[in-house]
Amino acid sequence: MSSDQPDGAIEFRSDNCAGVAPQIMEALTAANNGSALAYGGDRWTEELREVVCEAFNAPDAQIFPVSSGTAANSLALAGMCPPWGSVLCHETAHIYKNECGATSMFGAGAVMRGLPGDGFKLQPDSIRAAFESTNWGDPHHSQPSVVSFTCPTDMGTVYTPQELADVVTVAAEKGLKVHLDGARLANAIAALHCAPTAITTDVGVDAFSLGAIKNGAMSTDAIVSLDPEISEQLLYRTKRAGHVASKMRYQSVQLIEYLRDGRWVKLGRQANAAMTELSRGLRDRDIELLAEPQANMAFVRLPNAVHAAWAASGVLFYDMGPDTIRLVTSWQTTPDDVEAALHRLDLVLAAAR
Ligand SMILES: Cc1ncc(COP(=O)(O)O)c(C=O)c1O
């Protein structure tokens, strides 16, 4: 048996379910040769630093490989926010809803404030409203210290560089640092057809999570810091959290291969293209999408009985509550997968009529 999918199943549960891109697997095997200095003292980690500085046009950038997106977000935010500070984020943000308070733990009590915003994006007005409702300098209140945005958002929408620039401008009015949850950064860059710098370095992000696991890597994401003070903190914080791998070469080689020749964006583009086709097919069948899927994720309104029958036909996805499902494509999703899934949906819809 080659995977834990039932025969004929089509995978839309999560991009975390996808395998490892073959080039990354090959690079891992090639690096698995002889010994190398531990804890990042190896030649691959040195090369990775150069690759990242070049990719993000940031000579002072520092990269810290970690083993999950949650570790990347929470350790970066802990390094950006004082214990008495708050992180302003969208009310649907993964750091707020789905990380079990990891930032508060690593941040010695730093708190999250979830803000509303159309399109599941932070808006300048809601950040300003949060500023206005803060008693600045009052030790009875957490002090807003960081603005964190997620791109693509947890609902599959994508900020434009201008929307990001507007958020950063408001953050700068009060001297807040800016963090990006880039668990799917490649999908955002592919969706925007922009350079990697356009939503990171160029808009004034101070640190970001560089997701790789969901998009073809095996076991590493990373934090990229563009601010030497944050980098200094991360040097120690990653170690204290147990995220400095002794055999870091295996993480570094994955990330080098991931970033090499824009592979990460190509993989992200494949995932997005599959979602474009899938969502077009759903719309053609008059099925409601909760938001415009701009990257590789869609939330879809589908009666329970219909989605149960679609699932029974071997299409895998997450049930998100009454009459709602989540579909996620990955670099591995093929046009045939999309076509077959839509065909099975047609059979289900015909049977329901
Ligand atoms: C937007 C976003 N950020 C962060 C994470 C956390 O990644 P991990 O599950 O590797 O901790 C996820 C995971 O699904 C995510 O969707």
- Is the domain covering 10-19+264-352 a CATH 3.90.320.10 domain? no
Interval 210-238 mean pLDDT? 98
Pocket test for ligand 1, best of 15, 67, 70, 77 (most atoms within 8 A of CB): 70
Residue nearest to atom 13 of ligand 1 (CA): 69
Residue nearest to atom 4 of ligand 1 (CA): 69
What's the one-letter identity of residue 263?
R
Residue nearest to atom 8 of ligand 1 (CA): 69
**Where are the chain's structural domains?**
10-19+264-352, 22-261
DSSP assignments along 206-255, one per residue? -EEEE--GGGT-SS-EEEEE-SHHHHHHHHHHHHHTT---TTTHHHHHHH
Find the 177 Cα to ligand 1 centroid distance in Å: 21
Q: List phi, psi (to 5°) of 33.
A: -140, 110
How many Å apart are CA 257 and CA 107, to the nearest integer?
Answer: 32
Find the 333 Cα to ligand 1 centroid distance in Å: 19
- Residue range 81-102, pLDDT digits in tens: 999 999 999 999 999 999 999 9
Report the pocket of ligand 1 as residue ranges, CB < 6 Å.
68-70, 73, 94, 150, 154, 181, 183, 213
Strand partners, 62: 225
Asked whether this chain's domains 10-19+264-352 and 22-261 adopt the same fold, the reply is no
DSSP assigned state of 310:
H
Pocket test for ligand 1, best of 75, 89, 92, 94 (most atoms within 8 A of CB): 94
* Helix 249-259 × helix 43-55 angle, to 10°: 30
What's the one-letter identity of residue 291?
A
pLDDT score, position 108: 97
pLDDT score, position 258: 98
The token duo for 14 is: 């999560």
Closest CA to 192 of 222, 233, 161: 161
pLDDT score, position 2: 60
- Residue range 239-296, pLDDT digits in tens: 999 999 999 999 999 999 999 999 999 999 999 999 999 999 999 999 999 999 999 9
Report the topology of domain 22-261.
Answer: Aspartate Aminotransferase; domain 2 (3.40.640)
Percentage of the chain beyond pLDDT 70 is: 99
Cα 125 from chain centroid? 24
How many Å apart are CA 131 and CA 15, to the nearest integer?
Answer: 36
How many Å apart are CA 289 and CA 67, to the nearest integer?
Answer: 33
Strands 207-210, 315-316: pairing is unpaired
